[in-house]
Amino acid sequence: MRNSATMKRFVRRFRSMHRGVLVLTLALSLFGLIMQYSAAGGDFSVFAKPQAIRLLMGLVLMVLFAVTPPAALFRSAYIIYGLCVSLLVLVELVGFMGLGAQRWVGVGAFSLQPSELMKIGIILAFARYFQSFKPDYTNHVVVLIVPAILVLIPVGLILAQPNLGTATIVSVIAFCMCFMAGIRWWFFAGAITAVVGAIPVAYHFLHDYQKERVNTFLNPDSDPLGAGYNIIQSKIAIGSGGFWGKGLLNGSQGQLDFLPEKQTDFIFTMMGEELGFAGAFALMVMYALLIGFTMRLAAQARSSFGRLLAAGVASLLFIHIFINMAMVMGMIPVVGVPLPFLSYGGSFLLTTLMACGLVQHVYINRDQTAPMRGIS
């Protein structure tokens, strides 16, 4: 009888998922598989097949996050955060190198990038922490000590890999969630002023390749066959796509391998060349709808835990989309940030789908005022 009741509860929660978010999640995931098929020159087995396997795993995790009772997710928030931090420590101890950085750990036949999972950990930890405080209390300096510690520990470990892009994104997610928790603007004004003032000093602590990226951003034509090659080829590809694009598998820059990392960080560039402005605009509309649905659910949630979860996911999606697109168009330095659903990579795809599961969780439990009581 107990197993039957649990199954009925699972089915009821599953059928209560937000249809719009679910359709957009599946559509963007399918779009990503198509672009991975194109990135391999029409070979499904190279990128699209491994990505499809990870997609199925991610969809299972998405559903599990969606149907988990609020009380269970609330109790697990710090545990998940702690596991993510532990994996980051494990990277320092036994992690293996890739692309010049030590960022991965082996999990059976798979490699896992814990810094990506940390984005989910920081969202859950911050949502649980600020759930306990009324907005009037969040502006006390003492209240901000714990969030500062929660974000500085993983950011420090991620910077040690080194991975400046992911460390920045984790910090921005925490920053946005503090804002949604009700912290007043003058805290943020002070923090932004401190960050801007520290940029000249921080530049001297950057690795050589990071300084090279900044210099290339300021003057990409200074080394067109070296440091500036990626961004120059990216601009050529996007510009040559025109309005309708050259057609799937027909992009010269992507298919002839002039464009590096076309399956990961520069996937938007390849899509812009092959599908043109029309394809890029359609993608941005889907992204805008997904973020819009997420922010609407944040406004509708009756518990601050649910509201902060949705706000954290919205910030995660937006900052990834903004940085990736701005990066490949030469508006900001190249920092190695993937594009949600499209870029090749298992850890980030799992993270994105788990984030969508948190959005579904907020929608299913939007009428509950306190997650600690959500046991049904």
Over the stretch 64-121, which tens digit does the pLDDT of each residue have? 999 999 999 999 999 999 999 999 999 888 776 665 566 778 766 678 899 999 999 9
Structure tokens at 220: 């990409």
Looking at residue 207, its amino acid is H
70/84 Cα distance (integer angstroms): 20
What does 298-356 look like in DSSP terms, one character per residue? HHH-SSHHHHHHHHHHHHHHHHHHHHHHHHHTTSS-----PPTTTS--HHHHHHHHHHH
Q: How confident is the model over 282-312, as pLDDT tens digits?
A: 999 999 999 999 999 999 999 999 999 999 9
The confidence band for 214, taking pLDDT boundaries of 50, 70 and 90, is low
**How much is the pLDDT for 103?**
79
Q: What radius of gyration do the chain's Cα atoms show?
A: 21
The confidence band for 202, taking pLDDT boundaries of 50, 70 and 90, is low
Of residues 315 and 185, more confidence is placed in 315
Contact 353, 58 (CB under 8 A): yes
203/215 Cα distance (integer angstroms): 11
pLDDT (average), residues 243-251:
91
- Give CA angle at 124 (332, 178), nearest 5°: 60
| Cα distances (angstroms) measured from residue 363 to each of 19, 65, 72, 285, 315 | 10, 12, 16, 21, 17
Comparing CA positions, the residue from 165, 70, 65, 176 lying closest to residue 115 is 165
Element (H, E) at 26: helix 19-39
Of residues 106 and 43, more confidence is placed in 43
The confidence band for 244, taking pLDDT boundaries of 50, 70 and 90, is very high
**pTM score, whole prediction:** 0.90
**How much is the pLDDT for 21?**
96
Q: Is 228 left (phi over 0), alpha (psi -120 to 50) or beta?
A: alpha
Q: Is the pLDDT of residue 144 over 70?
A: yes
Count CA atoms within 13 Å of residue 362 on its CB side. 31
Q: Is the pLDDT of residue 375 over 50?
A: no
Contact 202, 140 (CB under 8 A): no
- Decide: helix, strand or coil at residue 105: strand
